[in-house]
A and B are shown apart, each in its own frame.
Chain A
Amino acid sequence: MTRPTPLQAFRRGLPSLDLEDYHAKLREELQRRNRDLRFMLATPSEPGAAEPGAFHGVPVTVKDALTVRGLEATAGSRILQGYVPVFTATAVERLERAGGVVHGKTAMDEFGFGTFGTNCAFGAPRNPWDPSRVTGGSSGGAGVAAALLAHHVAIAESTGGSISSPASFCGAVGLTPTYGRISRWGLIDYANSLDKIGVITRSTRDGFEAFNAMLGPDAHDATSQNPHNLAATRRPVKRIGVMRELVDASKPEVAKPFRSAMDRLAAEGVAVQEVSFPLAKEALAAYYVLACSEASTNLAKYCGLRYGPQGELDKPFDESFAAVRSRDFGAEAKRRVLLGTYARMAGYRDAYYLKATRVRGAVIEAYRGLFRNVDVLASPTMPILPPRFEEVAALDPVDVYALDAISVGPNLAAMPHLSVPCGYVTDLPVGLQFVANQWDEGALWDVGERWEAAFPYRFPANVGAVP
């Protein structure tokens, strides 16, 4: 008999639940936990009423990069402090219409600029497995919420690995769909050609149920589309390609449980073979050049005129704008604005920005070549265990960016990917990442469910568990 997923368990308990009382107590408990773990930002004065639907009464949290009407949205940046949106992001609205109840915004790296969840203007969230360690980023608060709450959907966003990284470090399931599956309307942009809204949950099925509720075209986002019906494309995975270079680049304590997971899947009849993906370094460089180029233009509007704190305009525009930006952007935001502006500057545009767009094309082709022989690709999600805060502080930017080598590839190429826990080392979770071809999320659903049927997950808490 298969175990019920956390959402199935919630629905079973729903008839005997006083929802108003349940959400009031949950809100109190979240506030209590937040004092130690700092994973939540704005919260509503009281959770809204639950609409009828498949997610009736299910607690939902929202990464602070997405708008929720009436709730402050900062995208983790001081420059947006006090910004209260007048509309709700399409993804959030669709989940609310299906019955989800928003409990608040989750902490994140400023504008999504981070691998570890440490570049946050309002304090870095702490890992619930060990609060001296980082959560992963940039959707760090969403990772914590998924690890703590027994029945819950964390709406998150990934540009270069911001769903997989915290899912891995916090021991949860992170689903990043194909670019364009879910409308980006209401998302505070990092990089428009890379941003993807997804979810962090406690099971593959729960993640896909939420994904199904949110996906599809939206008149507000011209890039949103749903070319293949997800249910129709769901198919059994027969062949897994293990990405040799990415496993070799991982620390032994991470590679070991990953290899055990592959052995376990092979024992169940899945053909597991090694494949080569030699473009990881090139993909990393192309990703950072493109992401920072787009970010530097997106962040141009934060200058104190329309967005950002407005002071007296007593100096020329450029000086006033520079003063606001220099005061309120964090260090990593400044670093990325500089890199992105440089990559687009006259004299360097061809060598950096345009070259990166063409390398991206080569990376997409390389992935497509691999998918001619396998259904999904697999590797560890992150090459290391969640590090301590002081270990991250000792890294220089090039070292930090290099740790994204596994996660940026599928993000750059818009390939959907799923991170699931595959082991526990000294009581810290290890993540395993499956990558599928564009629009082939159905393969991820199949392999994710098959994996967790054989491997029960552990969590550091079960906040709000229904009896």
Chain B
Amino acid sequence: MPVSDGDWKRLLSNARLRLTAEEEASFRRDLDAILDAFSVLDRAPAAETSAFHPIDVPLALREDKPEPWDDPDELLKGRPLHGRFLKGPRV
């Protein structure tokens, strides 16, 4: 099924691309053709669970361990503040 006008607009916004009219026509035609070719996925055999990684990846994170930390009031002292937050430069 071809990509709808609404979805196409949302897609360009999400992808952060601003295309020329010529590019839009070409890429939209390509996307429709690619999605049509990939409709084979609808009927494809699938495993019970998703394989986000093709191998078992050992957990590399350690358990969180609470530790004492510097006094936040000391850290904020003398700095530009907005309420209890540090104020950064305007970008």
Contact = CB atoms under 8 A, between A and B. Distances in A.
Contacts, number: 145
A465 interface: no
Interface string A423-465: 0000000000000001000000000000000000000000000
Q: Is the interface of A mostly helix, strand, loop or mixed?
A: helix
B60 to A, nearest CB: 4
B16 A325 contact: yes
A323 B20 CA distance: 11
B14 A285 contact: no
B5 interface: no
Contacts of A358: 46-51
A337 B38 CA distance: 16
A414 interface: yes
A355 B46 contact: yes
A397 interface: yes
A325 B52 contact: no
A122 interface: no
Q: On chain B, which size bracket covers the interface?
A: 35 or more
Contact of A288 (B10, B33, B34): B34
Q: Which of B13, B50, B55, B57 has the most CB of A within 10 A?
A: B55
Contact of A289 (B19, B27, B41, B55): B41
B11 A338 contact: yes
A279 interface: yes
A108 to B, nearest CB: 22
Given A325-B16, A337-B15, A398 B37 contact: yes
Contact of A342 (B11, B52, B54): B11
Interface stretch (A44-52, A109-117, A246-254, A360-368): A360-368
B39 to A, nearest CB: 8
B57 to A, nearest CB: 5
B37 A362 contact: no
A225 B54 CA distance: 13
B41 A359 contact: yes
Contact of B18 (A194, A322, A361, A398): A322
A334 B47 contact: no
B91 interface: yes
A401 interface: yes
B40 A285 contact: yes
Contact of A286 (B17, B18, B41): B41
A354 interface: yes
Interface of A: 178-180, 193-194, 222-223, 225, 279, 281-282, 285-286, 288-289, 296, 300, 303, 313, 318-319, 321-323, 325-326, 329, 331, 334-335, 337-339, 341-342, 345, 347, 351-352, 354-362, 364-365, 396-398, 401-402, 412-414, 438
Given A178-B55, A342-B31, A414-B55, 15 more contacts: A282-B44, A322-B18, A338-B15, A339-B34, A341-B15, A342-B11, A345-B14, A351-B41, A355-B44, A356-B41, A357-B50, A358-B49, A364-B54, A398-B30, A398-B37
9 contacts: A179-B54, A225-B55, A313-B91, A318-B16, A323-B18, A341-B11, A351-B41, A357-B52, A359-B44
Of all A-B residue pairs in the complex, the 5 with the closest CB atoms, nearest first, are A361-B47, A414-B54, A222-B60, A357-B50, A358-B46
Interface of B: 3, 7, 10-19, 23, 27, 30-31, 33-35, 37-38, 40-42, 44-55, 57-58, 60, 91
